[in-house]
Amino acid sequence: MTKSALLEEVRRAIRLRGYSLRTEKSYLVWIRRYINFHHQQHPATMGANEVTRFLSWLANERQVAVNTQKTALNALAFLYHQVLSAPLGKLDFQHAKQHRRLPVVLTRAEIGKLLREMKAPYRLIFSRLYGSGLRITECLRLRVQDVDFDHGALTVRNGKGGKDRTTLLSRSLHDSLRHTIEAALDVQRQDNSRGLGPALPDALGRKYPNAFRQPAWMFLFPASGLREHPNTGALCRYHLHDSAPRKALKQAVKRAGVLTKRVSCHTFRHSFATHLLESGRDIRTVQELLGHSDVATTQIYTHVLGQHFAGTVSPLDSIGH
């Protein structure tokens, strides 16, 4: 099997297991990097020793983050176990160093400044990131069926780790969200008149070929154009690409004058968690809303709060001046 044929086999194996398109792209990138690192050798002629060298090189020479190295390991483990049927076994590689960096958190005033500098649909998108603690990809993948106005809830499907969860839906956004849904459904009706519609999960599209006509499956933030589905080749409409809100955020940061902090889409999720804890919400509740598997991941936000979370003050403040 040639290297190009191998990569196509990897692609088929990933899609057979229903992995996300983002995971597919990531795995293929890391497998190509592994092949290039070993001077274009075919992975079938290599094994655990070569994988160990590559992962150690990432840690020692490239000084990648822990999660980056884990992604590379997962990609290569998938390649050898699922495609080449040659499990790697226990690997003794140099692990990337764990650096604990406190997340950047915006104040409520700064959140307000940024939102006021945004226009539709970006104001609603970033309001969702902050109001519901969403990742940017989770927000853009939301469909009409994921909004529950009656219970004030959003359902996040196939989030990080393939998990579903329910999180908060701010009542202050109900009206704007209803307008957004109606606009999205207008786009769907226009597409349906041409026999087209929103992109569907591959298995669902095969089982229910007319599901693209159901309002429940329409994206809240549809893309402006159509594209081919990567699995079926059928023309369909995806959600807005994440490059658009990232660009809008960069412009809003500049206009709002929030220049002393490094602000990204994820900063709004960090701020959501920190402000909930600051308001006295239980850390287990915040963990569930964020979709963290381990409460230890959520605990990083307690360090951001400092004296406000612990209820303590610096001893210097008790000394008279």
The verdict on 79 and 184 lying in the same domain is no
Q: What is the rounded CA–CA span in Å between residue 226 and residue 87?
A: 40
Q: Is 81 a catalytic residue?
A: no
The verdict on 125 and 33 lying in the same domain is no
| Set 27, 80, 122, 135: catalytic member | 135
88 belongs to a structural domain: no
Domain range holding 195?
Answer: 100-313
Q: What is the pLDDT of residues 112-166, one digit of tens each?
A: 999 999 999 999 999 999 999 999 999 999 999 999 999 999 999 987 777 899 9
The verdict on 8 and 106 lying in the same domain is no
| Of 5-14, 102-111, 225-234, 278-287, minimum mean pLDDT range | 225-234
Q: Is 160 a catalytic residue?
A: yes
Classify residue 95 by its DSSP letter. P
The verdict on 79 and 106 lying in the same domain is no
End-to-end CA distance of the chain: 78
Q: Is 292 a catalytic residue?
A: yes
What is the three-class DSSP state of 166? strand
Task: Give the domain CATH number at 23.
Answer: 1.10.150.130
Give the pLDDT band (50/70/90) at residue 105: very high
Q: What is the rounded CA–CA span in Å between residue 146 and residue 15?
A: 24
Q: Is 135 a catalytic residue?
A: yes
Q: What is the pTM of this model?
A: 0.81
Q: What is the pLDDT of residues 299-317, one digit of tens each?
A: 888 877 764 444 555 666 6
| Set 160, 165, 213, 229: catalytic member | 160
Q: Which of the listed residues 33, 52, 83 is the one where a domain comes to its end?
A: 83
Query: Is 37:73 a contact under the CB 8 Å cutoff?
Result: no
Q: What is the mean pLDDT of residues 95-106?
A: 83
